[in-house]
Amino acid sequence: MSASRARVGHEPKTGLYYELLGPQTAAGPPLLLIHGGGATGACWRATPDGRLGWADQLADRGHRLWVTDWPGTGRSGNRDGLEIDYAAVVEGYRTLLRETIAEPVVVVCHSMGGAVAWQLVEHESDLVAGVLSVAGAYPANVAPRSQVVSDDGAVAVVDFADTGVRMTVDRRVMNLYGDGYVYQQGIATSTRFPLDRVDAMRAGFVGLPPRMLLQRLGVEPGMPTIDSGAGFAGTPIRLLASAEDPAHTRAIEERTLGLLRGWGAEAELIWLPDLGIEGNGHFMMFEQNSDELLEVVATQLTAVGAVAR
The answer to whether residues 306 and 239 touch, using CB atoms and an 8 Å cutoff, is no
Q: What is the pLDDT along the chain (309 residues), one digit of tens a residue?
A: 556 889 999 999 999 999 999 998 878 899 999 999 999 999 999 999 999 999 999 999 999 999 999 999 999 999 999 999 999 999 999 999 999 999 999 999 999 999 999 999 999 999 999 999 999 999 999 877 899 999 999 999 999 999 999 999 999 999 999 999 999 999 999 999 999 999 999 999 999 999 999 999 999 999 999 999 999 999 999 999 999 999 999 999 999 999 999 999 999 999 999 999 999 999 999 999 999 999 999 999 999 998 765
- Looking at the whole model, is its pTM more than 0.75? yes
pLDDT at 272: 98
Q: Is residue 197 part of a domain?
A: no
CATH code of the domain covering residue 296: 3.40.50.1820
Q: Is residue 148 part of a domain?
A: no
Q: Concatenated DSSP letters for 76-121?
A: --S--GGG--HHHHHHHHHHIIIIII-S-EEEEEEETHHHHHHHHH
Domain total in the chain: 1
Q: Is residue 47 part of a domain?
A: yes
Q: Is residue 251 part of a domain?
A: yes
pLDDT at 297: 98
CA angle 131, 32, 79 (to 5 degrees): 120
Which residue range is the domain that position 248 belongs to? 8-140+224-303
pLDDT at 309: 53
